[in-house]
Structure 1
Amino acid sequence: MLPDLEGWAVFARVAESGSFASAARSLGLSAPTVSKVIARLEHRLKTTLFQRSARHLSLTAAGVACLERARRMLSDGEWLEAELREGSVRPRGTIRLAVPMGFGLDILGPVLPAFLEKYPDISMEIDLDDRTVDLLGGRFEAAIRITPGELPPASSGGAHLLCRSMVRFVCSPELKASLGPLETPEDLSGKSGLLYANTDLPDLLRLTHHDGKQVSVRLRGRMTVNNGDMLLPALRNGTGLALLPDFMLRKDLEAGRLVEVLPGWQGNVLSVWFMVVGCGATRLQMPARLRVLLAYLEQTLGGKMSQDYSAAQEKTR
């Protein structure tokens, strides 16, 4: 049998948008039609891809495992059709892109030179800022936005999921040894914290156990900054504890400069989105320069970081 390519494309769009209704609007279909396509795919696979409730839609473990390849199928199909429509026209022009500073320095910066080499008629102007900037007022064409949880940020344009990242509670090995046995988040209450300022309550850290239990811990702030990278030297030095995303911590964790404080507990999962200003949700409505950038980021960031995310999920179970 041929694979259910329509079903996988609809599955990817539902996962990206966070609801059947949003996916239906972006695909030009009715919500019942989208629901029927997903039900058909799940029946074919003999597994459930989404956990459904009256107010929430989330991926099952099987859905998470399938998502990256489904998104790639959708991306390849849309890109193939766009190439055939445009013929030999080469993407060109300037992309004005707003990016969170830590993500830009750690993740985006290293992969952009190859993109610019591949597309010599495209230039980029990048604004690094951890604050949520005014995209229209700043004359940006696109942005990288990072949100807690799985739902996309509110936007008048399109939001395309690039990847997800775990958030871990970490410190230096020396500090962990000095703290003594740590069994529950409550054991950390009042300990020295290195805090990220761009949240409502920087000193109140919300943690979730792999069994679903949720706890909030209040730390004593030793340093509070609006950029996560600035916390890393103090973390390595043993000044305090911090809750930061995997993409900032990977090298230090692998080298043993940092360790997890409470394995099995994590902060909110972060979703990384490619936001397109003033365009519809489909790729065919984007300028070619944005479409090729999105496809490139999905291939270079989405694959690697999604694998890291899936591996991290398995590790916490």
Structure 2
Amino acid sequence: MTGLPDFEGWAVFARVAESGSFAAAARSLGLSAPTVSKIMGRLEHRLGATLFQRSARHLSLTAEGAECLDRARRILSEGEGLETELREGTATPRGMIRLAAPMTFGREVLGPALPGFLEQYPDITLEMDLDDGVVDLLGGRFEAAVRITSGLLRPAVSGQAFLLCRSVTRFVCSEQFRARLGEVENPEDLTGQPGLLYTNAAVPDFLRLRHTDGRQASVRLKGRVSANSGDMLLPAIRAGLGIALLPDFMLRPDLESGRIVEVLPGWTGAELSVWFIVTGCGATRTQMSARLRVLLAYLERVLGEIVSQDYSAGQEKTR
């Protein structure tokens, strides 16, 4: 015998045996009596055995049918239980979420934000994978991911992308390095200065800037330290080795403590968009499990406040 077992047939068999007739089983299943009869005939033909003795007024199990009944009931019960769990799971926020995110964003933003989410939804558990590289979301069996892109560029992923918030990048260095720079009024004054470069950028040493008044400029730095993780650049910034253009959310603690300072206030680099990715083609909010819907709603609300709070005066916060 090849192919899958006839699970539908066994479930219908168990319901017919419990109901005592094809007609009663059909009513409970929302099927027609001829359909139930056809399913039973198909199962018996597959088995080469008769499961019911039929007469005009009476239906009874054969010896073979009685022998199969307990296991058929288990098949029906398991199927009903599985569907009930899944239906409740899509309505009630619970279960495991496997979430991928960039390393620094995960540590600086998601790490502080997610305890409040888990406290609000005690039946949800999180498994997080932090990686600055491109993660295979489907291959890694991630339900969701946070991705960051330049501008409003949508991530090139299989699934649906929801914009969580936006941020900017800023020029920073140590206070000692800033003192050595002397007078700096325009971006061009920084050309050729030692740069601490983020190599995941398209052209790491060529940086485009925009002023709050709309002016645009570009700067080419002289690479001193290069890394594919902003975390690796922060110690070099603090040590006074050069200038870096990094995201707000990464710089906030050092800016607030005075360990580093902003160069050219009012000038910012590329705007960044933070996206919530739901894996699987065609995913929408209504198709998501309840646990993903509430996580998306929570991140939309909380990250818009956390990531955007350090924008320059006059720059509008967006979501």
Looking at structure 1, the residues matched to 233 and 89 of structure 2 have their Cα atoms a distance apart, in angstroms, of: 48
Does 2:171 match 1:169?
yes
2:315 aligned counterpart, secondary structure = helix
Does 2:274 match 1:280?
no
Report the alpha carbon displacement of residue 213 of structure 1 after superposing the two structures with TM: 3.2
Instruction: For structure 2, list consecutive stretches of 5 or more residues without a partner in the other structure.
Output: 1-86
Which residue in 2 is equivalent to 1:157? 159
Which residue in 1 is equivalent to 2:19? none
2:253 maps to which of 251, 254, 257: 251
Please give the per-residue CA displacement for 1:210-246, whole angstroms capped at 9, x wherever unaligned: 2333322221111111111221122112111000011
Report the alpha carbon displacement of residue 270 of structure 1 after superposing the two structures with TM: 0.6
Runs of 4+ in 1 over 6 A off after TM superposition: 85-88
Which residue in 2 is equivalent to 1:227? 229
Which residue in 2 is equivalent to 1:264? 266
User: Sequence identity, in percent?
Assistant: 69
Contact residue 206 and residue 219 of structure 2 kept, 8 A:
yes
Looking at structure 2, the residues matched to 230 and 164 of structure 1 have their Cα atoms a distance apart, in angstroms, of: 23
Could you state the TM-score of these two structures normalised by the residue count of structure 1? 0.67
Counterpart code for 2:257: A
Contact residue 176 and residue 261 of structure 1 kept, 8 A:
yes
Instruction: For structure 1, list consecutive stretches of 5 or more residues without a partner in the other structure.
Output: 1-84
Report the alpha carbon displacement of residue 262 of structure 1 after superposing the two structures with TM: 1.1
Structure 1 residues 214 and 195, CA gap change in structure 2 (3 angstroms)? same
Structure 1 residues 118 and 207, CA gap change in structure 2 (3 angstroms)? same
Looking at structure 2, the residues matched to 188 and 149 of structure 1 have their Cα atoms a distance apart, in angstroms, of: 24
1:254 aligned counterpart, secondary structure = helix
Contact residue 90 and residue 291 of structure 2 kept, 8 A:
no
Contact residue 279 and residue 286 of structure 1 kept, 8 A:
no
Report the alpha carbon displacement of residue 204 of structure 1 after superposing the two structures with TM: 1.6
Contact residue 279 and residue 285 of structure 1 kept, 8 A:
no
Looking at structure 1, the residues matched to 179 and 137 of structure 2 have their Cα atoms a distance apart, in angstroms, of: 45
Contact residue 209 and residue 265 of structure 1 kept, 8 A:
yes
Which residue in 2 is equivalent to 1:40? none
Looking at structure 2, the residues matched to 118 and 111 of structure 1 have their Cα atoms a distance apart, in angstroms, of: 12
Could you state the TM-score of these two structures normalised by the residue count of structure 2? 0.67
Looking at structure 2, the residues matched to 198 and 89 of structure 1 have their Cα atoms a distance apart, in angstroms, of: 40
What pairs up with 1:81-96 in 2 under 5 angstroms?
89-96=91-98
Looking at structure 2, the residues matched to 99 and 87 of structure 1 have their Cα atoms a distance apart, in angstroms, of: 24
1:186 aligned counterpart, secondary structure = helix
Moved more, 278-287 or 93-102: 278-287
Counterpart code for 2:192: G
Report the alpha carbon displacement of residue 151 of structure 1 after superposing the two structures with TM: 3.3
Aligned residues: 231
Looking at structure 2, the residues matched to 88 and 198 of structure 1 have their Cα atoms a distance apart, in angstroms, of: 37
Contact residue 159 and residue 281 of structure 1 kept, 8 A:
no
Contact residue 89 and residue 95 of structure 2 kept, 8 A:
no
Contact residue 166 and residue 312 of structure 1 kept, 8 A:
no
Please give the per-residue CA displacement for 1:141-180, whole angstroms capped at 9, x wherever unaligned: 1110111112322333221111111210111111111111
